[in-house]
Chains A and B, each alone.
Chain A
Amino acid sequence: EVQLVQSATEVKKSGESLRISCKGSGYSFTSYWIGWVRQMPGKGLEWMGIIYPADSHTIYSPSFQGHVTISADKSISTAYLQWSSLRASDTAMYYCAKSLTSGWAYGMDVWGQGTTVTVSS
């Protein structure tokens, strides 16, 4: 079974750093892109960026560039989303998702269960 399993809920304070993870299994991790999507409380989905684990080529949404870092460790089939200095406005649910094909523009067919991040000021 193809699945993405995300790390557990995080509760942090403003200014702290954080890295959340997304582990893929049941497929060739290096053959598909992994994207990250944010959903703030009561709001819609926002596309943050995407990474190709085979070579770590990464594309960011302009809205998130410079504030988050997307990375991957292909040796353990895991992608990461990290912050060096959290803000209260980073409080949200974060999903990772796998691309439908080896091209990343077509759609995301498998999603992680989501990681809740709560940042207090």
Chain B
Amino acid sequence: QSALTQPASVSGSPGQSITISCAGTSSDVGGYNYVSWYQHHPGKAPKLMIYEVSNRPSGVSNRFSGSKSGNTASLTISGLQAEDEADYYCNSYTSSSTQVFGSGTKVTVL
């Protein structure tokens, strides 16, 4: 199972919006609404930011939103803040009844 494809890096200035893409296939992202997104600060445990494509867990800022079109899912961070600087990973259920993570995107706040 190959990793889902994400851009290696995305950057933005404080207050701006950025979008991270997560490209898969009809056997994973495109076939199911089981896409989740995780924020990972180095040295800390990953944090669930979005589940089932667009749902936010309790406690996650509404500056984070998720969507999906075809085989590509997206995470948008609006009103970018310094604390948002981290690695972000998408994850999807697959037709093999497993899960697969994306390749990861490093978000830099300029």
Contact = CB atoms under 8 A, between A and B. Distances in A.
Interface of A: 35, 37, 44-47, 49-50, 59-63, 95, 97, 100, 105-109, 111-114
Interface stretch (B16-24, B75-83, B91-99): B91-99
A107 B36 contact: yes
B98 A47 contact: yes
Contact of A62 (B38, B89, B91, B96): B96
Interface string B41-81: 00001111011100001000000000000000000000000
B98 A59 contact: yes
Interface residues of B, number: 28
A117 B48 CA distance: 24
27 contacts: A35-B99, A37-B46, A44-B3, A44-B89, A44-B101, A44-B102, A44-B103, A45-B38, A46-B3, A47-B91, A49-B98, A59-B97, A62-B1, A62-B98, A63-B1, A95-B45, A105-B34, A105-B93, A106-B36, A107-B51, A107-B57, A108-B36, A109-B51, A109-B57, A111-B46, A111-B47, A112-B45
Given A45-B38, A62-B98, A63-B1, A114 B45 contact: yes
B47 A107 contact: no
A97 B40 CA distance: 14
Contacts of B99: 35, 47, 50, 61, 105
B32 A105 contact: yes
A34 to B, nearest CB: 13
Interface of B: 1, 3, 32, 34, 36, 38, 40, 45-48, 50-52, 57, 87, 89, 91, 93, 96-104
B104 A45 contact: yes
Contacts, number: 71
A70 B36 CA distance: 23
Contacts of A35: 99
Nearest to B49: A107
A95 B45 CA distance: 8
Nearest to A64: B98
